[in-house]
Structure 1
Amino acid sequence: MKPRELIATAQIPYGDELRLFRRDSDFMITLGGNELMSSRLSGSEEALATMTCERLQTDRPHLLIGGYGMGFTLRAAQATLGPQARFTVVELVPEIIEWARGPMAALTAGCLDDPRVELLERDVARIIRVASRSYDAILLDVDNGPDALTRADNDELYSTHGLVAARQALKPSGVLAIWSAAPDERFTRRLKHAGFQVEEVMVRAGRNGKGARHVIWFARAA
């Protein structure tokens, strides 16, 4: 097998270093010994978008997407929703967007230039904290799950306080959708304690229904 090539690095604010690798036409982003995402495995990130869209109760939705990653969630939501939809994409690490517009431009396929998209290079927790009944859905894929692997400050998003802020940032029928690499019963209980009705869905990493099992929590205000 052809060895992967390191083509770029990025420092997470108050966190560790991300590395972007390429092998032929495939890309991988790693943190330490963990592969956070790969262009070969997009199924669960796309499911985060499509399954959230199935749960929307409006044809003019405003989605807040926390974490651009490789753009799988954004592109799936764009393909699912019509011209009246709005997407606010929040990415903390500027280099992630530089990679999207640079070495991964073919993969990005111009999704960031969609007029429905507003791109903010900020901490999504801060965006949520100041919002009030602003979003029809909040989609979070900023870590490997609620254990805040990439950055300790992400704990705020998954705390009871952060979940209550997310509930208040949603419109009355809004959906909070959170991606995770693994189940977490304590987090399910925390969602309920924060005032949500919770649906936990298992999805596969690959588009073909194979690969690792990932989890998406869908939560609505109780």
Structure 2
Amino acid sequence: MLPREEIAKARIPGGDTLTLISHGRDFVIMLGRDELMGTRMQFSEQQLAELTLARLSAPRPRVLIGGYGMGFTYRAALDHLPDGGSVTVAELVPEILEWAEGPLAHLTGESLDDPRGEVVLADVRALIDDAIDGTTRRYDAILLDVDNGPDGIVHDGNERLYTRTGLGKARDALNPDGVLAVWSAAPDHKFTGRLKDAGFHVEVQTVRARPNNKGPHHTIWFAKKR
């Protein structure tokens, strides 16, 4: 049996500790004792980007991603981005980007140097607020993968993203026909209702964590601005 080796640790501001673990050729980021993400379970995070971009009507979409993680969603967004589009990632933990350029560089490739995208050290809520008050342009898609879902909060304060008020802010930060996409490790029927109450047309899709219909089921909400 392959041993697990601790590579590095990072502290979420106001939250728990993240630990980067190697397990043979695979890597895992742990949140406390729980597995937050890993290289063997990346398909649903890639689908978060691919399926969202397929739903956009904007010819040159402006995309915001909450959470870099291991970069799966970001790289998939760049791979499927139409000409003239752009992707911004808000990442709260500086060490995550250090890992992307260090032990996880083989996953990162050239994505951090791609001129179509940028990764900024910021809370995604702040970038949403900037779009609402006109500091930046509005987005055509906002993808949230900052927690394990609406009930699996990683960072203190993130619960506000999933309230009716927080969802209303995300709606206001979107262009007409824009899409808010939210990844979750588990279904949540009450959250579906909150999205509808916040003024979205909602589609819920279940995807597998691994390709070829393998791994646990994850949930993605696609909420289109009315």
Question: Normalising to structure 1: TM-score of the pair?
Answer: 0.97
Aligned to 2:26: 26
Aligned partners of 2:82 and 2:197: how far apart in 1? 34
Contact 1:83 1:116 (C-alpha < 8 Å) held by counterparts = no
Partner of 1:164: 168
Please report how far the alpha carbon of residue 184 of structure 1 lies from its aligned counterpart in structure 2 after TM superposition.
0.4
- 3-state SS in 1 of match to 2:214: coil
- Separation (CA, whole Å) in 2 of partners of 1:144 and 1:96: 17
**What SS class does the counterpart of residue 210 from structure 2 fall into?**
coil
Aligned residue for 2:60, secondary structure, equals coil
Residue 67 (structure 2) aligns with: 67
Runs of 4+ that moved beyond 2 A: none
Rounded to whole Å, the distance in 2 between the matches of 1:152 and 1:126 is: 15
Work out the CA distance in 2 between the residues paired with 1:139 and 1:171: 14
Match of 1:210 in 2: 214
Q: Is the 8 A contact 1:148 1:154 kept in 2?
A: no
Q: Deviations over 1:82-108 (max 9, x none)?
A: 341100111000100100011000011
Structure-1 residue corresponding to 2:85: 85
Shift of residue 130 of structure 1? 2.6
Q: Could you tell me whether the CA contact under 8 Å between 1:43 and 1:209 is conserved in 2?
A: no
Q: State the TM-score, normalizing by the size of structure 2.
A: 0.95
**Structure 2 unaligned spans of 5+:** none
How far apart are the structure 2 equivalents of 1:142 and 1:46? 14
**Whole-Å separation in 2 of the counterparts to 1:180 and 1:219:** 14
Deviations 1:123-142 (A, max 9, x none): 00111123136101000000
| Paired position in structure 1 for 2:140 | 136
Task: Using the TM superposition, give the Cα deviation of residue 148 of structure 1 relative to its aligned residue in structure 2, in angstroms.
Answer: 4.1
The counterpart of 1:173, out of the listed 169, 172, 177, is 177
Q: 1:27-49: per-residue Cα shift (whole Å, max 9, x none)?
A: 10011221010011111001001
Q: Deviations over 1:117-162 (max 9, x none)?
A: 1221010011112313610100000000002431221101111111
1:32-75 Cα shifts (integer Å, max 9, x gaps)? 22101001111100100110011010221110011001111111
State the identity %: 57
**Which range is displaced more, 76-85 or 99-108?**
76-85
- Aligned mate of 2:188, from 184, 187, 192: 184
Give ranges in structure 1 of 5+ residues lacking alignment.
none
Pairs aligned (count):
222
2:59 alignment partner AA: D
